[in-house]
Amino acid sequence: MPSTRLPFTLPEFHERLDSTRRAMQTQGIDILIVTNPSNMHYLTGYDGWSFYVHQAVVVSLVEDPIWWGRPMDAVGAQMTTWLGDDSIYSYPDDYVQNVERHAYEHLCGILEELGWNERRIGVEMDNYYFTAACLETLRAKLPNATYVDATGVVTWQRSVKSHAELEYMRRAARIIEATHARIREITEPGLRKSDLVAEIYAASIKGVDGYGGDYSAIVPLTPSGRDAAAAHLTWDDRPLVKGEGTFFEIAGCYRRYHCPISRTVYLGTPPPEMMRAQEAVLEGLEAGLAVAKPGNTCGEIAEAFFGTLLKYGVEKTSRAGYSVGLSYPPDWGEHTMSIRPGDPSILRANMTFHFMPAIWTPDWGLEITETFRVCEEGRPECLANVPRELCIKP
């Protein structure tokens, strides 16, 4: 029987499956092997920390999808998906991390039994969970199939959020508001960074308003001082010191849906160049949000933002954001649209983005970001309400 604790209704899952099949037909794909755990969850509801071993959801144009994975995780598929037991397959556990045999040999046997061994098979070639060995095994065991890169087939279906998805992201926003409030409350010289991060985890998992938080796809990124010149350092056990800024790149997460919000705290007096960069970023954020409307493009948001930076003489070479929502480690981005000059992706109502105009210099880093929803008309909805300005603690 399908799980009774599905995160979405069966009609919503069926709509997702239908849109995925239409995309498959457009690309001439008969069978789609989905290995990205976010896409697996999107299509079936499957939820488990099992993506470190081989697993997949296989979608045909007609039959119900099948879930395939490790035997102990097949139980989780029964508990978390809408699929019937006859659609859940598992491979013997001696395939796990065995250099003499590969789990995809077992999957190939299933595809052959189902008569799918000579079809056009789509695989998500450019994602973290599908390896070179997976593709080589498929080619060796099913040589008469044609293989198609289907990396974005399901991912692009996730671009426009349903009302239920937006509700989960708004709950994640309430969680990140409470987490940043806790950061501002306790950050002070002498506090060990590891103790501060422990408080971040406590607030983000405890949740708010009766809703408990989920684990985020990225751990808290919390570098201080010159370490904050690097975008993706985490934490250590050294104490915070006066005269340094710390940015907090974190997300609230509810039922795998994320609301990332970054803010910066400075202990002492910030350098003038940081204050000028903040002025540019705050104005640039507003300029970008002003054009985040249906029919405009991601590139136009970027042009408005980067044009503002140029007025202030502030340099930024990396993109300024990306689509966001449902995700599993190691990244909360959707890997579709980016807020950068030239991105032609057209905005539609209920798309959601992490607008991430961070500035990193050789001596410090400043992060002030927003997660927003494109509205049917007018300005976008910023999902969280966290003070943007640099939090200065003398």
Both tokens assigned to 51: 């993506």
Average pLDDT score over the chain: 97
Q: What does each C-alpha distance from 230 to 136, 226, 318, 351, 361 come to in angstroms?
A: 37, 8, 13, 29, 9
Over range 66-75, report the average pLDDT: 97
For residue 44, what pLDDT is reported?
98
Of the residues 111, 133, 158, the one at which a domain ends: 158
Residues 6+ apart with CB under 8 A from 370: 261, 285, 289, 354, 355, 382, 383, 384, 388
Nearest to 328 by CA among 381, 253, 378, 276: 253
Whether 188 has a pLDDT exceeding 80, the answer reads: yes
CATH number for the domain harbouring residue 324: 3.90.230.10
Over range 312-329, report the average pLDDT: 96
Same domain for 219 and 141? no
Same domain for 35 and 136? yes
Instruction: For residue 56, give the DSSP letter.
Output: E
Whether 3 has a pLDDT exceeding 90, the answer reads: no
State percent of the chain over pLDDT 70: 99
pLDDT digit string (tens) for 244-255? 999 999 999 999
Over range 223-227, report the average pLDDT: 97
For residue 5, what pLDDT is reported?
83
Of the residues 141, 158, 175, the one at which a domain ends: 158
Tell me the CA end-to-end span of the chain in Å, nearest whole number: 59
State percent of the chain over pLDDT 90: 98
Does a structural domain hold residue 103? yes
pLDDT digit string (tens) for 330-353? 999 999 999 999 999 999 999 999
Total domains, the chain: 2
Same domain for 117 and 192? no
Boundaries of domain holding 230: 163-393
Nearest to 153 by CA among 129, 130, 122, 132: 122
Q: Which residue has the tokens 């999808």?
A: 65
26 — pLDDT class (breaks 50, 70, 90): very high
Same domain for 113 and 251? no
Over range 219-230, report the average pLDDT: 97
Whether 259 has a pLDDT exceeding 90, the answer reads: yes
Residue by residue, DSSP assigns 89-144 as: EE--GGGTT-TT--HHHHHHHHHHHTT-TTSEEEE--SSTT--HHHHHHHHHH-TT
1 — pLDDT class (breaks 50, 70, 90): low
pLDDT digit string (tens) for 140-184? 999 999 999 999 999 999 999 999 999 999 999 999 999 999 999
Same domain for 140 and 181? no
Over range 309-328, report the average pLDDT: 95
Q: Which amino acid is at 94?
A: D
List, in sequence order, the alpha helices (H) in the chain. 10-26, 37-44, 71-80, 103-113, 132-141, 163-186, 193-206, 272-290, 298-312
For residue 4, what pLDDT is reported?
65
Same domain for 169 and 211? yes
Same domain for 316 and 209? yes
